[in-house]
Amino acid sequence: MNLQASVIIPAYDSSGTIRVCLEGVLNQTLPRDSYEVIVVDDASHDDTAAIAERYGVKVVRQAHGGPAVARNLGARCAQGDILVFTDSDCAPTEEWLIRMLRPFRNDQAVVGAKGVYRTSQRELTARFVQLEYEDKYRRMARQRYIDFVDTYSAAYRREVFLQNGGFDESFPFPSVEDQEFSFRLARKGYRMVFVPDAVVAHHHDKDLGEYWERKFRTGYWKAYMLRWLPEKILSDSHTPASQRLQIALLTLSLGLALSALAFPILLLAGLASAAAFFASALQFLGNIRARDPQVLLVAPLLLVLRAAALGAGLVMGAVSAPSIQQQTKAGPSLIFFIVKRGLDILGASVGLLLSAPVMLAAGIAIKATSSGPIFFTQERAGENGKPFHVVKLRTMVEGAHLQVQDVLAANPLSGPVFKIPNDPRVTPVGRFLRRWSLDELPQFWNVLMGEMSLVGPRPEETWVVEQYDDYNRQRLAVKPGLTGPMQVAGRGTLDMDARLSLELEYIQRYSLWQDIKILLKTIPAILSGRGAM
């Protein structure tokens, strides 16, 4: 039988937990000959490797390099199509593996999956941590696809994992290398899913000291990661917005309290900020009350401790500069994205106002010359491959999407790009609108809604994106644009290689000045008519 999966367990000085972990992994409902187990010993000082060998699993030894290095080594040694990761201090339940593999069988487009933690500990801090995770799990369960996968219960298609270099080995300690990898895949539009019934048992932080240390370390390394993934400051599929707000409110409260020593009038503002801090946690506290009311005894303190530890870690990570390779990945700052979004809102608002008479005239012409609606909506792949519906003035006959296969043979371009010269489905009015790019005017609405930007790679149909290889997917890293490098350098005449070269250069040189130059070149490009189809 072909191996369905390879379970990879990094282990360092894990003699106290590795037995329970391996007993859980080996006692799965999935047939034992359908998966392999690989323990990567990270130069343990105890008998971790010897214990693992007695269980009859594959043991790989390495010089001490940390869990990211260990997991990557395990992946290179693996033979299964799916790589499944857990930690040496976790004990998977017997249905864990079959449930982790289920999404990959049901949907070939899924490349990653994330399971959950459970604990039976009785310490109040550990119970708080479990409720904290469950709050995040509820958030993830509402999302079709996620961008955040923790390696305590994770799975990836081996081919995609290796193509993308695995976990970043420049993180020297257990930190956020698992987050960074899943964020990196999400940027390319890869689909990852949450599997709430794939459970591993775990021992959480049992006291305030352990909790502070873990949260501080997470904040520290996350700050460093955010230098090249600044958009994740604002949101990800795992972290509630309230947690980010609480860090800001606690910082403001402490700042106002200190300032009140010199300006007593600020004390009231500090108290209001503190009240807002706890108000932002009311829903979470309500969930605690419903599920484990005893934890309310420590919850307020732990909420403050969490915000303080994460905030302190973020500050320390932001001002320090670890000498690791990821510094070369630093990209635009959060300020860049805020300013770019502000310009998009302003430009889209003005664009909609000025183009309204043109769209009205075009709408009358469309209705007068062909049957069907004035506007045409179509699912396209947006930032990180997230689907959205682009809005255009209709330029084709009604039902043109049903005739795609009839005209594909006339596609002159190579790669997953489809532009048909003299497409017979295009109406006479539609041909005029396309010649002058007037059919794109309604996309100012997509820009206003945040689905597109004024400048960026053009959004492609989702069925086309599904044909992308890993290299092509790099163009999904940013919001698609109303105009972009392709529009000013050939438009519909460019095949995928030429288009991708232009768009990757744009992404790598991401700047407001570059956007302005493309906007200024767009009008001459439209007037020239080159590449219009």
What residue type is 386 in one-letter code? K
State the residue for tokens 């250069």: 505
Averaged pLDDT for residues 445-455 = 95
Q: Taking the mean position of all CA atoms in its chain, how far away is CA 198?
A: 21
pLDDT tens profile 350-361: 999 999 999 999
Residue 322's pLDDT band, with cuts at 50, 70 and 90, is: low
pLDDT for the residue numbered 327: 40
How many percent of the chain have pLDDT more than 90? 66
Q: Are 431 and 149 in contact (CB under 8 A)?
A: no
Triad 152, 155, 156: Cα angle to 5°: 135
Say how far apart CA 430 and CA 439 lie, in whole Å: 8
Averaged pLDDT for residues 278-307 = 96
Which of 194-203, 398-407, 453-462 has the least mean pLDDT?
398-407
Closest C-alpha among 186, 147, 181 to residue 164:
181
Q: Is the pLDDT of residue 413 over 60?
A: no
What residue type is 406 in one-letter code? D
- Helix segments in 436-530, DSSP class H: 443-448, 462-465, 496-508, 512-528
Q: Are 178 and 149 in contact (CB under 8 A)?
A: yes
pLDDT for the residue numbered 475: 87
Q: Is the pLDDT of residue 174 over 80?
A: no
pLDDT tens profile 52-103: 999 999 999 999 999 999 999 999 999 999 999 999 999 999 999 999 999 9
- The token pair that represents 395 in the structure block: 């330029």
Say how far apart CA 396 and CA 159 lie, in whole Å: 40
Say how far apart CA 73 and CA 60 lie, in whole Å: 8
Say how far apart CA 501 and CA 498 lie, in whole Å: 5
Say how far apart CA 139 and CA 523 lie, in whole Å: 44
Phi, psi of 404 (to 5 degrees): -55, -50
Q: How many residues does the chain have?
A: 533
What residue type is 146 in one-letter code? I
Helix axes 299-319, 282-291, angle to 10 degrees: 130
pLDDT tens profile 234-273: 889 999 999 999 999 999 999 999 998 898 889 999 999 9
- Across 22-36, 227-241, 423-437, which has the greatest mean pLDDT? 22-36
pLDDT for the residue numbered 345: 96
Residue 400's pLDDT band, with cuts at 50, 70 and 90, is: low
pLDDT tens profile 485-498: 887 876 556 677 77
**Within 13 Å, how many C-alpha atoms sit on residue 137's CB side?**
19
| Paired sense of beta strands 110-118 and 191-202, if any | parallel
Q: Taking the mean position of all CA atoms in its chain, how far away is CA 515?
A: 24
pLDDT for the residue numbered 328: 43
Domain borders along the chain are 1-204, 207-326, 334-528
The overall average pLDDT reported for the chain is: 89
> How much is the pTM?
0.85
Which of 283-287, 326-330, 490-494 has the least mean pLDDT?
326-330
Phi, psi of 76 (to 5 degrees): -70, -30
- The token pair that represents 315 in the structure block: 């500050």
| Paired sense of beta strands 35-41 and 5-11, if any | parallel
Helix (H), strand (E), coil (C) string for 395-445: CECCCHHHHHHHHHHHCCCCCCCCCCCCCCCECHHHHHHHHCCHHHCCHHH
Residue 529's pLDDT band, with cuts at 50, 70 and 90, is: low
pLDDT for the residue numbered 500: 80
| DSSP per-residue letters across 94-110 | TTHHHHHHHHHHH-TTE
Averaged pLDDT for residues 315-323 = 76
What residue type is 24 in one-letter code? G
Q: 1-204: what fold?
A: Spore Coat Polysaccharide Biosynthesis Protein SpsA; Chain A (3.90.550)
Say how far apart CA 81 and CA 238 lie, in whole Å: 26
Q: Is the pLDDT of residue 334 over 80?
A: no
3-state secondary structure of 457: coil
Residue 335's pLDDT band, with cuts at 50, 70 and 90, is: confident
Residue 395's pLDDT band, with cuts at 50, 70 and 90, is: confident
Residue 426's pLDDT band, with cuts at 50, 70 and 90, is: confident
Closest C-alpha among 5, 16, 322 to residue 175:
322
* DSSP 8-state class, residue 308: H
pLDDT tens profile 178-201: 999 999 999 999 999 999 999 999
